[in-house]
């Protein structure tokens, strides 16, 4: 274990994630989108750290997340790492005493409160986040309402874990929250066991995750058919039938961004760093 703090490792995980390449469709050190560039993600990672440091002081997970998002948003592009921070907040909270396990994170998740859910909603006031319309009858709980939705959250006594549970079927980050962070910890093991520069290990795991399940951010921004196409193309790269760099160029040109997969990699890199991966 290095002398870095837990929050420093979280910041480093965000930086290592964006420096990995190629990650088809995502911003990395050789690919930008028209409205999101490499430096925006670097600045977002730096800005998020003061919020993440609150976990070391025993702050609630929701407050840690909301403050991290507020700091992340202090760059000119707006939202860069919202989903990654939603994964990192409970991971950071569970990482005290150098112990970080799925059971420990699950305990943190299950301890979340209505106040944590309220802070989660307030975080949406800092950035624009791509979300689906709520089901009929649940308009008062639309996250895009931000703080205006807090009375409805309080009336229903919904914890942040409850909020994540309601989205788990359609959102890959929420699914990790209620599923014991299974994909994050599995990817972390592969990063720990891998060889070569850590950003390259992250990029390799990105492709594995992308081939494993349709990216839910692509589903939201495009449709499920597009997400399944990206999944097949990632598998073709793993099978040696396609080139990762060419796929990366194509997806960026088409504006297809597997952002949920990148979020999972950021979480996995944090776990790997806390488990001793050297940088």
Domain map (residue ranges) of the chain:
6-210+263-274
Whole-angstrom distance, CA of residue 243 vs CA of residue 200: 15
pLDDT tens, position by position, 262-271: 999 999 999 9
Q: What is the pTM of this model?
A: 0.96
Contact 83, 75 (CB under 8 A): no
- Phi, psi dihedrals of residue 186, rounded to the nearest 5°: -65, -45
Q: What is the pLDDT of residue 1?
A: 55
What tens-digit pLDDT sequence spans the chain (279 residues)? 568 999 999 999 999 999 999 999 999 999 999 889 999 999 999 999 999 999 988 899 999 999 999 999 999 999 999 999 999 999 999 997 668 999 999 999 999 999 999 999 999 999 999 888 877 777 888 998 999 999 999 999 999 999 999 999 999 999 999 999 999 999 999 999 999 999 999 999 999 999 999 999 999 999 999 999 999 999 999 999 999 999 999 999 999 999 999 999 999 999 999 999 999
Contact 16, 198 (CB under 8 A): yes
Task: Tell me the CATH number for domain 6-210+263-274.
Answer: 1.10.4200.10
- Phi, psi dihedrals of residue 31, rounded to the nearest 5°: -135, 130
Sole residue written with tokens 């703090």: 5
Please work out, in degrees rounded to the nearest 5, the angle formed at the alpha carbon of residue 235 by the alpha carbons of 183 and 224.
75
């Amino acid at each position: 274990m290095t002398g870095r703090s837990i929050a420093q490792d979280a910041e480093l995980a965000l930086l290592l994630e964006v420096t990995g390449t190629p990650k088809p469709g995502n911003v990395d050190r050789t690919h930008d989108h028209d409205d999101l560039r490499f430096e925006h993600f670097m600045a977002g990672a730096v800005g998020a750290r003061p919020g993440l440091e609150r976990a070391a002081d025993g702050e609630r997970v929701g407050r840690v997340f909301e403050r991290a998002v507020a700091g992340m948003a202090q760059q000119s592009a707006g939202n860069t790492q919202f989903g990654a921070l939603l994964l990192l907040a409970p991971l950071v909270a569970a990482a005290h005493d150098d112990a970080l396990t799925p059971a420990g994170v699950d305990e943190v998740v299950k301890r979340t409160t209505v106040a944590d859910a309220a802070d989660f909603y307030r975080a949406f006031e800092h950035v624009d986040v791509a979300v689906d319309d709520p089901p009929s009858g649940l308009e008062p709980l639309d996250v895009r309402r931000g703080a205006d939705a807090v009375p409805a959250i309080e009336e229903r006594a919904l914890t942040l874990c409850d909020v994540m549970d309601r989205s788990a079927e359609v959102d890959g980050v929420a699914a990790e929250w209620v599923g014991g962070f299974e994909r994050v910890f599995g990817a972390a093991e592969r990063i720990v066991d891998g060889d070569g520069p850590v950003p390259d290990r992250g990029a390799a795991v990105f492709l594995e995750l992308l081939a494993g399940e349709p990216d839910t951010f692509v589903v939201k921004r495009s449709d499920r058919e597009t997400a399944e196409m990206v999944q097949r193309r990632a598998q073709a790269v793993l099978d040696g039938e396609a080139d990762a760099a060419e796929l990366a160029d194509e997806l960026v040109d088409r504006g297809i961004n597997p952002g949920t997969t990148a979020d999972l990699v950021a979480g996995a890199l944090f776990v790997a760093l806390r488990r001793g991966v050297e940088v």
